[in-house]
Structures are given as C-alpha cells and as structure tokens.
Amino acid sequence: MSILETERTVVGWAATDPSGILAPYTYTLRNTGAEDVFVKVLYCGICHSDLHQIKNDLGMSQYPMVPGHEVVGEVVEVGSEVTKFKAGDVVGVGLIVGSCGSCHPCESDAEQYCNKKIWNYNDVYTDGKPTQGGFAESMVVHQKFVVKIPDGLDLEQAAPLLCAGVTVYSPLNHFGLKQSGLKGGILGLGGVGHMGVLIAKSLGHHVTVISSSDKKRVEALEHLGADDYLVSSDETRMAEVADSLDYIIDTIPVGHPLEPYLSLLKLDGKLILTGVINTPLQFMTPVVMIGRKVITGTFIGSMRETQETIDFCKEKGLSSMIEVVKMDYINKAFKRLEKNDVRYRFVVDVAGSKLDQ
C-alpha cells in the first residue's frame, strides 16, 4: 500500500477554546488525492488574523484549531495527476486551499473571492474533514493552491510573503498602482505594513508611513527606507501632507477613524483596507465626495499574484524583518503580537521544533 492510500497521523499545535492557548494535538490528514501534494512543513509565519481566529474574535472559530497560513515546506510526495510539483520541491501554501473553480472569481484569476473558498484552517474540506493549518508536521494541499519558492530565497523569509507580502502586492497590482513615481501611504507598521514599505519602495514610490506614535520613526526611515513619517495626531504635519497621496494601504487590524487619512488623498486617491476588523468603521461622506476618493479593500491575493509576489521579492532582493522562534515559544509570540511587540513578523521554525511536547 503506498503512502498516498493511507491516512497519516500528524502532530500540530492547536487551540481548543477561545483562550487561544496552543498545545500539541494529534490528528489525521485527509487522504491524498490525485491532484494533491503532501508537504512537510519547514516554516510558518504568524499573522494577526491567526490571533483573531484562535480567540474567536470573529465568532466563527471551530476547535480544536491548528492555525498558521504562511507555510513554507518541502514536497514529500505528489498525487498521480500532479504536474506542477515533484518530490523535493520547496513550496508555499497560503490562506486558501480550495475553491469551486467555476464561478466568476475563480474563472477571473481571483479565487480568493470565491464564495465557496476553503480556508487553510478552521474550515471543512470537500471530503468532510476539518482543515488544519501550518503549525504542524505536514499538510495535504491541492496543487492549484501551492506555489513554488525559487532557489536562493531564504525559506524563513518566504513565509511572510504568502500572506503579508501578497496582501500588499495584490491591491497595487489590481488597481494599477505599480508604476514608478506614485506617492503612497502605509498606515500601520506591523507585519503587513512593513512589507508594504519594502514593496512600494521597490516599485519606485515615494512612501510615507503613518502611525499613531513616534516610536517606529527610526525603523521606518532608516531600516525600511520610507521617505516620510507621519504621526496621525500631529495636525500640523497631517495638514502639510493633505491632498498629496495617490493611495493609502490601511493595515490596521482594529477599529479606527478614517477621516484623518482620507484627507491625505489627492483627487481619485484610494484608501485600501487590508486589516480584518470586527467593528464598524465610520466616516463623513463629504470627505470622500470632495475629491472623488475611493474606499475599497482587498483580500490577500490570487494564487497567480502570490507567485508573482514571491518572484518579485526574490528579483528585488527584498528581506522582511522577522523574528524566528521555535514552536514552544508560540504562545508567548501570540501574546507579544497582541501587544504589537514584534519587528515585524514572527516565523516559527516548525521543522526544527519538537512538536509533541
């Protein structure tokens, strides 16, 4: 009997209730189908949306839950109809692991907007088994939802690109904001925000970081290469920058006012929401109407855009700022993430961790 015909028992770290505390959990992977790839997990990034899910902030969490959707791994075996990958390939897996394949978004290279998309974890696969994420020994994923990690890209560096990186790249790509010379704002300097600075600068944009405090000024300007730094409570500086930005990528994952930032946009400027927020946002309509401004949002990116993001970052030599930890540190990492105490992305060395203790 081949490995493809048997269920494999694996160990992951799961939350079992809204406390969000993760601990070792043993479960079986779904059977590997003809178009599936069996992946040994090497690294997995920690995203703020993982925090939302393990704590049931959105009211949809199912336990036990193994989170983790910035997965870098090695292909161990492939199904009989897999054409894109072979054993030994280094690959990435992001937030989406399935879609219907026939709706308008799926046929438009935008499967992340499919109403029947299947989440990497906290969801149910087509065979009825719960999906579980990347804080585990291995995963089984359909080849469509796997991307190639190019040679020469550090594997721990690749992990944040699978969510944080593509979350920034996708709106710049979709809204025609990739040409050089644009003026952009990055609101919030966390995992997504710091990738936003790096990618926008690599496109030749003038980049302004907008934050609620001055504490990240040196890092933004000197380490990440931003051109300007705005503290949102500094009314004089905010007034100086008014009506000057082509776009703002809003990465803040908690409720906040929109008006101060809308005022920074020029005619036809776009405020692009990328943070998951479970409370309503508010604004007065004139600040949008007078300037024909757009409030929009995008959700991660397509599989094509995910591959483009990885290839772009490899080509440009971009390195995200990460802190690599072992799995036994993951609960402390989530507590620090909750306090915004990370520069700028935790990445778990899964393969180098003892998962069963």
Query: Taking a C-beta distance cutoff of 8 angstroms, is the pair 3, 36 a contact?
Result: no
Paired tokens of 217: 């000024």
Tens of pLDDT along 104-148? 999 999 999 999 999 999 999 998 999 999 999 999 999 999 999
User: Which domains occur in the chain, in start order?
Assistant: 8-163+321-349 (3.90.180.10), 166-297 (3.40.50.720)
Distance, CA of 293 to CA of 339 (rounded, Å): 32
- Ranges in the chain, pLDDT < 50: 1-3
Distance, CA of 207 to CA of 282 (rounded, Å): 25
pLDDT at 6: 62
Render the burial of 234-270: b for 16+ CB within 10 Å, e for the rest.
Answer: eeeebeebeeebbbbbbbbbeebebebbbbbbeeebb
Contacts of 212 (CB under 8 A, 6+ apart): 231, 232, 233
pLDDT at 2: 46
pLDDT at 1: 36
Render the burial of 7-29: b for 16+ CB within 10 Å, e for the rest.
Answer: ebebbbbbbeeeebebeebebeb
Neighbours of 106 (CB within 10 A): 20
Structure pTM? 0.94
pLDDT at 5: 52
